């Protein structure tokens, strides 16, 4: 079920980010070091998982293309905002929903504005130490 309020989205993004954090030890097992700044790449995968959408190539490609192309197009505009791992992850997670046509651009903008204005809450919610 898609969250119905910006607050619910913020909570879901925090849970999705924590799920991404939990993959870090597995990278070390495969000889790949996963850093916080790279977690945004997992946004499309976790989007599919949280929405209960089959991780078929077509679905993953739609979500990933939307997330990464939007990320590249937006990175210069937002300055250092994407240097905050939670924000770059949130952006790609939400853009994945746009690519899968689960939200529209207006909804995406509203949610992103809310997340950005509550960034400190998101950071606090994702602090697993």
Summarize pLDDT for 73-124 with one digit per residue, the tens. 998 888 899 999 999 999 999 999 999 999 999 999 999 999 999 999 999 9
Rounded Cα gap, residues 93 and 118, in angstroms: 16
Which is it for the CA torsion 89, 93, 98, 104, positive or negative? negative
Rounded Cα gap, residues 39 and 96, in angstroms: 14
Summarize pLDDT for 8-27 with one digit per residue, the tens. 999 999 999 999 999 887 87
pLDDT band at 129 (very low <50, low <70, confident <90, very high): low
Q: Which position has the higher pLDDT, 38 or 33?
A: 38
Reference 74, options 46, 116, 33, 127; nearest CA is 116
> In the structure encoding, which two tokens stand for residue 61, read together?
């490609």
Does residue 128 surpass a pLDDT of 80?
A: no
Q: Pinpoint the alpha helices (H) of 36-126.
A: 43-51, 57-75, 85-99, 105-117, 119-125
For the segment 56-76, the average pLDDT, to the nearest whole number, is 94
Residue boundaries of the structural domains of the chain: 6-125
Does residue 35 surpass a pLDDT of 90?
A: no
């Amino acid at each position: 079920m898609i969250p119905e309020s910006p607050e619910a989205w913020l909570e879901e993004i925090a849970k999705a980010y924590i799920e991404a954090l939990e993959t870090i030890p597995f990278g070390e097992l495969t000889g790949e070091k996963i850093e916080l700044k790279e977690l945004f790449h997992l946004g499309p995968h976790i989007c599919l998982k949280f929405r209960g959408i089959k991780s078929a190539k077509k679905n993953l490609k739609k979500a990933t293309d939307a997330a990464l192309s939007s990320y590249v197009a937006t990175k210069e505009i937002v300055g250092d905002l994407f240097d905050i791992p939670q924000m770059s992850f949130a952006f790609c997670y939400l853009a994945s929903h746009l690519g899968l046509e689960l939200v529209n651009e207006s909804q995406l903008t509203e949610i992103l504005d809310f997340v950005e204005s509550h960034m400190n809450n998101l950071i606090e919610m994702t602090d697993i130490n």
